[in-house]
Every structure is written in structure tokens, then in C-alpha cells.
Amino acid sequence: MKTTSPTSIQIPKVLTIAGSDSGGGAGVQADLKVITSLGGYGLSVVTAITAQNTLGVTRIQDIDLDVIEAQIDAVLLDIGADIVKIGMLASPEIVHTVAIALRRHGMKKIVLDPVLRATSGASLGGDDTAQAMMKELFPIASIITPNLDEASLLLGRDLNSPNDFKLAAQELLEMGPQAVLIKGGHLDATHTQITDYLMWRSIDDDLEVVLSKEFKHDRITTANTHGTGCSLASAIATYLADGHELTHAVAKAISYVEAGLEAGKFLSIGEGPGPLWHMFEFYPTSLPLEK
């Protein structure tokens, strides 16, 4: 039987449960890049295989439910995880399978990115999946991180301005999660400053209070934005697993994604919107050489 040495090194273990992106810019592939670049150990459970590239999603194949459950059991029974990040769950049945397994393993720290639609417009879940998430995963989530399209789908109305974020966050918080981060990056490009809105529950003198914080940052002009939502949620998860408190983890994750967008502005990967550059700290990119 393997024993742990007193001098063994422990690093944050982050389990991503999400779909695979054959283009490498989002999904499980992006999650593992983020986790590794931030000093964590990435574990993965694949819920669906997507055929996609920078031009869009052309096919989705769900993984069998028993195989998803087996992956979760295999990872958690041996290696364990300090936190779970959930991304694409393409059907209500997959949502149910994941929720039951995480409850059975007693997972308490869960970052849920309710991925329901690709940037290209392809459906990655839909209304039934959204309803299943709200019922089964929101009550056990430490934080949910919807973008504007996802928050609109979950609430059944459009969010058109940062002025809408507070009420939307309150309504989403009432569905059960401990915290909500509404991401404002999908507002039209005339908004040169992005507002992300965080609302969370806290205990003060044995009483639960609700707190909020806005994160304002300049929009980075680039077409290479594929995978930003997956990357932000994975960064939040990794920072939380490393012991950062919530607002600090969110702030650091936003800064990480900003730096990745800035570093990836001039990358040429595919014919459509490419990914941010996750490995900027280790392999910096540079401006094109002038001829």
C-alpha cells in the first residue's frame, strides 16, 4: 500500500467535468491548461466529445452515463480533488448523473460554469438542461459563473446593461448557490469597459448576509476570445483550491484571463476566433515583426 512521505509535496488538485474541444481552445483541454499554468494538478472527466474548431461546433457525442460515473469514481476514490469545476453537461441526464456522484463523494467545493450555448450559437444544452442544473447543481455549487447569454436563459429574460446585474444576481443566488458571478463580456463592443458582478453569501456574527462586488476592467480588442468562460471558471477553481478567499480568487482569475487575451491578440490559430494564450507566463508571445 502506498504511503505518503512526511516530505511529500501537496499541490491543489482540481477536477474538471466538462466536454472535450477538439480545437483545444475551450472545454477540458483549456481547463487543464489553466490549472497547470496556475500550479495545480488537473484531473478530468469527459462528458461529451465535440467536433469543433475556431469556426464552430459541427457535432456533439454525449458520453454514456455509466462511463461518466465511472470516471468520477476512478478519480475521486484514488486521487481525490480539492475542488470540482463543472463545464458542459449536454443533457438533463448527464446533469443528474454528475450531481448524484458528487453528492455521494461529499464534494463541497464546486465551481459551476453553466455552459449552455457556444459562442458560435450552437446549443450545448438548452432549456431542459438549464432546468436540471438549477434544480440539482445550483444548491451544491460554491459559485456559478454565467455569462450574459446564460444568465438570460436561466432567468427567462434578456440582460442588456450592467444595471441589470444586481437583480439578476439576487435571483440566481436565491436558486441555491453560495455565490454568483455574472460576466459582462458579452455586452456589445460599444461598452469599452467590462463589468463583472459578484454576489455571495457570508456569515457575520452567526447571521447570513449577502455581499456584492463589481470588477471593472477595460475590454481588450481581439478576435481571439474562444474559451474565456471555461478559462475564467477554471482559474477561479484553482485559486480557491490554493486557499485564496472568494473575492481574491475572482480578481486574480479575471487578471489571468485578461493577460491571456492580451498575449493571444496576434496568435494565428485557425480561420475563425482563436483562443486566448493560456501559457503566457511561460511562453510569451510578441507583436508581429515589421517588414
According to the model, what pLDDT value does residue 5 have?
60
Please count the structural domains in the chain.
Answer: 1
Has 228 been annotated as catalytic? yes
| Residue 20 lies inside a defined structural domain of this protein | yes
Active-site residue identified among 54, 129, 145, 225 = 225
In this structure, what CATH number is given to the domain that contains residue 259? 3.40.1190.20
Give a yes or no: residue 127 inside a domain.
Answer: yes
In a domain, 251, yes or no: yes
Interatomic CA distance for residues 98 and 124, integer angstroms: 16
For the stretch 105-121, pLDDT in tens is: 999 999 999 988 655 55
Q: Which of 23, 40, 184, 229 is catalytic?
A: 229
Which of 13, 85, 109, 183 is flagged as catalytic? 183
Residue 271 in domain? no
Residue 237 lies in a domain: yes
Q: What is the pLDDT of residues 44-93, one digit of tens each?
A: 999 999 999 999 999 999 999 999 999 999 999 999 999 999 999 999 99
Q: Tell me whether residue 192 is one of the annotated catalytic residues.
A: no
Is 238 part of the annotated catalytic residue set? no
206 in a structural domain: yes
Catalytic residue among 13, 27, 40, 230: 230
What is the rounded CA–CA span in Å between residue 174 and residue 165?
14
Residue 55 belongs to some domain of the structure: yes
Closest CA to 201 of 180, 179, 181: 179
Residue 18 structural domain: 13-263
The closest alpha carbon to 34, from 219, 249, 206, 220, belongs to: 249
Q: What is the pTM of this model?
A: 0.93
pLDDT of residue 118: 56
Concerning whether 183 is annotated as a catalytic residue, the answer is yes
Q: Is residue 81 part of a domain?
A: yes
